[in-house]
Amino acid sequence: SNFVIPNGARVVRRTVFISASAPSKTITERRSAGYQGNWSYSSHNSIVFGYDFEQERGVTDIAPPLRNNHGLFANHQHSVGTRLFFTESVRLEDNSVFHKKATPRFAASYLLTSTTRLKASTGAGISEPSFLQNFAHDPNFIGNRNLRPERSQSVEAGIEQHFFGSHFVTDATLFANRFRDLIVFVSLPAPQPGTWVNLEASRAEGIEWSTRLELSWLRLRGQYTFLDTRVTSAASPASASTGTGQELPRRPRHSGAVDVTAVLRHGFVTLNTTFVGERQDSDGVGFGIVRNPGYQRTDLGGSYSLRPWLDVFIRVQNVFNRRYEEVLGYTALPRNVLAGMTFRWRHR
């Protein structure tokens, strides 16, 4: 059996994992603080800058790890004339695990006509391993303390088209990502537990398409992603799961979603359907790779304002009680309901 914390049950600033197969636990706490400043030095030119600090502290069965991260960031937005717009940004990280790293990003857009916008961007990114990936201690999987942070380079270009006074908008974007040291989970032959490893090099590229229709009382949104992934370099090129030429695990080739929202006088009702295609996964026992079947899930939710300062809401997830596995071997939640209230308080 699996121990599951249902959607809607949250532990603030804390992630808890408890294994049902053995008495082991991994608890992580995250504390953060930051400052952001905004300076608009003309009607179309501005700079956003700031600093943030994040501390992660773990409690596991084998070690009490601690990780600190200091970040400085700046974002400059400006225009040349009334049609050409630029954004330059940079983030500097000082992390106790991977030390100092800089991640720049550049974006540009051009207003071809009053209803057509061309856009492009490029940038770099970095992501450290999670505490679970570093320090997990379980009969079924163990952490890998030698994991390196993920690094990425991305390029994308697209077009955005507006119709009928922007009531109908469609957007298409081509993208290409190159990864170094991407972190993936691999199963090992029994009785060895699985673990996480770095892939030397991999790629992910494809196209994203989205559209939205907004009327006075009705909003329709749809999006679709075609994704092609491959491992391009690996320490074990012949590996059945992470070898050269294999697809990246748990990345569906086809995915999408459709949202329908009815806007009421004092609230709204939303119906959302998510589509996820089949994808490569691990069998969990080390025999080889398998294909995890695709699925679709429908959620229904709404909110109603009782007072200017009080809303009630309800969300029904997996309305049709579909049985599926986002991660192979771990059944997703059946139909579940989350309800609550939202309070607003303003001080002048």
Distance of CA 190 to the CA centre of its chain: 32
- 27 and 14 in contact (C-beta within 8 Å)? yes
- In DSSP notation, 156-189 reads EEEEEEEETTTTEEEEEEEEEEEEEEEEEEE--S
Give the whole-angstrom CA distance, residue 25 versus residue 137. Answer: 8
Cβ–Cβ under 8 Å, residues 108 and 136: no
| pTM attached to this predicted model | 0.79
pLDDT in tens, the chain (348 residues): 333 333 333 333 334 444 445 555 556 788 899 999 999 988 889 999 999 999 988 766 555 678 889 999 999 999 999 999 999 999 999 988 778 889 999 999 999 999 999 999 999 999 888 878 887 777 778 888 888 889 999 999 999 999 999 999 999 999 999 999 988 888 777 677 888 888 889 999 999 999 999 999 999 999 999 999 999 988 778 777 778 888 998 899 999 999 999 999 999 999 999 999 999 887 655 556 688 999 999 999 999 999 999 999 999 999 999 999 998 878 899 999 999 999 988 766
The CA-atom distances, in angstroms, between 142 and each of 53, 240, 325 are 28, 20, 22
Domain ranges of the chain: 1-147
